[in-house]
């Protein structure tokens, strides 16, 4: 019964009957009750729960204050703005990236300057960042790819020596640390995502953290049109109707319905990360023996958030390419994804930035070969074994 060598694509028996989705949130009864409580309370949008959630994030990260926002993208946009990005500036970002960061730079009138990543960590390095700095560079926005912390000290040293701040894109990295210091506590500002697939979720949501509490105060005001005195202050019993706008802002606040989820997700952030790490270890030992694929490099003394577990196919050793590998896995009952389409491959950026194919060899080769496997806390050990079994089955069948 166990040896089903023929892939489902070829008419063989699939590893799973029911489909394992690529990602699923872990929502408990406490989250559900808290949302219902919010709905019954009459206070639906930014209010007491949003404030409590922001405080929980700040305490967890180890900073004085955090801003609760509508998304990580909102945090990147506001972070770029308060760190001084404007018309004609350059912002350094990885080419292996989601388009949120580059889009925000464009919206502020700046030019995204892309850099390649390290083949082992898939992160930008102090060297690649240093090589891209010009006199127009206003900001560096490294991504903690997949949840693996970047070399923040090295990058900050390179940037600071030229007076350039660093804004971390930690969409993948809630719970990650550099040997004791949490991601989000070191860079000038750091943006987290609570989108449904990310480490913890509020459905949609994000947070900006910073060691600088004044910066977070300014971001919080800008997240509500730039109005001093939040809605909660205005409409609550002791509030005042008065507000003033010192600089025009955006509508980027989190809501209490979202924060209701977040409060109980934050209670489980370590537990979730540990389960993700357990799954990563199981993948490591199950998949490392296969020479036709490679697994993520070890993380050393840092804590990896394991938002993603990308394997890379060795094209010389396999008879099928990445896209058919993904199709095969789907037919075996395993959902997967690819992170990311390189920024300069998107039509707009290809034209706007004038980077041809071959500009970022590591990013481009990774994109050709990468498959992100499902990795989330609600996967059972059986699910984890099914993923390993399906990948091994295909690798063995299609090995040259």
Ligand X SMILES: *Cc1c(COP(=O)(O)O)cnc(C)c1O
Show which residues are catalytic. 198
Q: Give 74 or 394: the residue with its C-beta nearer to ligand X.
A: 74
Q: In the complex, what is the shortest distance from the CB of residue 170 to ligand X, in angstroms, rounded to a whole number?
A: 9
Only one of the segments 69-77, 283-291, 297-305, 325-333 lies at the binding site for ligand X (rule: CB under 6 A); that segment is 69-77
Block residue for tokens 């009459």: 42
Q: In the complex, what is the shortest distance from the CB of residue 143 to ligand X, in angstroms, rounded to a whole number?
A: 5
277 binds ligand X (CB under 6 A): no
The alpha carbon of residue 152 and the mean position of all alpha carbons in its chain are separated, in whole angstroms, by: 16
Q: Which of 38, 50, 73, 363 binds ligand X (CB under 6 A)?
A: 73
279 binds ligand X (CB under 6 A): no
Distance of alpha carbon 222 from alpha carbon 225, whole angstroms: 5
Distance of alpha carbon 288 from alpha carbon 359, whole angstroms: 30
71 binds ligand X (CB under 6 A): yes
Q: Give 101 or 249: the residue with its C-beta nearer to ligand X.
A: 101
* Number of Cβ within a 10 Å radius of residue 111: 15
Q: In the complex, what is the shortest distance from the CB of residue 316 to ligand X, in angstroms, rounded to a whole number?
A: 30
Q: In what order do the strands lie in the sheet with 370-373?
A: 293-294, 309-313, 370-373
Only one of the segments 164-172, 245-253, 361-369, 384-392 lies at the binding site for ligand X (rule: CB under 6 A); that segment is 164-172
67 binds ligand X (CB under 6 A): no
- Is-contact 242 33, C-beta < 8 A? no
Q: Give 208 or 394: the residue with its C-beta nearer to ligand X.
A: 208
Closest to 67 in 3D by CA, of 85, 84, 49, 53: 53
Q: Which of 53, 195, 349, 355 binds ligand X (CB under 6 A)?
A: 195
Q: In the complex, what is the shortest distance from the CB of residue 98 to ligand X, in angstroms, rounded to a whole number?
A: 4
Task: Please list, residue by residue across 24-58, b when 16 or more beta carbons sit within 10 angstroms of its beta carbon and e when fewer do.
Answer: ebbbeeebeebbeebeeeebebbbebbbbbbebbb
72 binds ligand X (CB under 6 A): yes
Between vectors from CA 79 to CA 50 and to CA 304, what angle results, nearest 5°? 75
Binding to ligand X (CB under 6 A) within 80-99 occurs at: 98
In the complex, which residues of this chain contact ligand X (CB under 6 A)? Answer: 71-73, 98, 100, 143, 169, 171-172, 193, 195, 206
């Amino acid at each position: 019964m166990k040896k089903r060598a023929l892939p489902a694509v070829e008419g063989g028996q699939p590893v799973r009957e029911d489909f394992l989705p690529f990602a699923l949130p872990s929502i408990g009864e406490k989250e559900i009750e808290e949302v219902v409580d919010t709905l019954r309370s009459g206070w639906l949008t930014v209010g007491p729960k949003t404030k409590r959630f922001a405080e929980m994030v700040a305490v967890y990260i180890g900073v004085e204050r955090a801003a609760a926002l509508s998304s990580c993208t909102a945090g990147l946009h506001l972070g770029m703005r308060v760190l001084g990005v404007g018309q004609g500036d350059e912002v350094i970002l990885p080419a292996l990236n989601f388009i949120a960061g580059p889009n925000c730079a464009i919206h502020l009138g700046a030019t995204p300057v892309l850099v390649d990543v390290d083949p082992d960590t898939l992160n930008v390095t102090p060297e690649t960042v240093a090589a891209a700095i010009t006199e127009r560079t206003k900001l560096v926005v490294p991504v903690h790819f997949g949840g693996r912390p970047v070399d923040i000290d090295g990058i900050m040293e390179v940037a600071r020596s030229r007076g350039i701040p660093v804004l971390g894109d930690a969409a993948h990295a809630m719970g990650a640390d550099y040997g004791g210091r949490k991601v989000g506590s070191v860079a000038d500002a750091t943006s987290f995502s609570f989108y449904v697939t990310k480490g913890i979720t509020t459905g949609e949501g994000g947070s900006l953290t910073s060691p600088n509490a004044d910066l977070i105060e300014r971001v919080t005001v800008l997240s509500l049109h730039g109005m001093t005195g939040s809605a909660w202050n205005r409409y609550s019993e002791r509030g005042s109707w008065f507000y003033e706008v010192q600089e025009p802002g955006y509508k980027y606040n989190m809501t209490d319905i979202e924060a209701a989820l977040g409060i109980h997700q934050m209670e489980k952030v370590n537990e979730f990360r540990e389960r993700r790490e357990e799954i990563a270890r199981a993948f490591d030992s199950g998949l490392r023996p296969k020479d036709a694929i490679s697994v993520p490099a070890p993380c050393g003394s840092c804590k990896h958030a394991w938002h993603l577990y990308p394997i890379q196919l060795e094209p010389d050793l396999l008879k099928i390419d990445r896209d058919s590998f993904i199709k095969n896995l789907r037919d075996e009952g395993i959902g997967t994804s690819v992170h990311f389409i390189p920024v300069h491959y998107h039509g707009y950026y290809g034209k706007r930035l004038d980077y041809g194919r071959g500009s970022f060899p590591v990013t481009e080769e990774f994109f050709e070969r990468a498959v992100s496997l499902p990795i989330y806390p609600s996967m059972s050990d059986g699910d984890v074994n099914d993923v390993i079994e399906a990948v091994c089955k295909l690798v063995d069948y299609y090995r040259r």
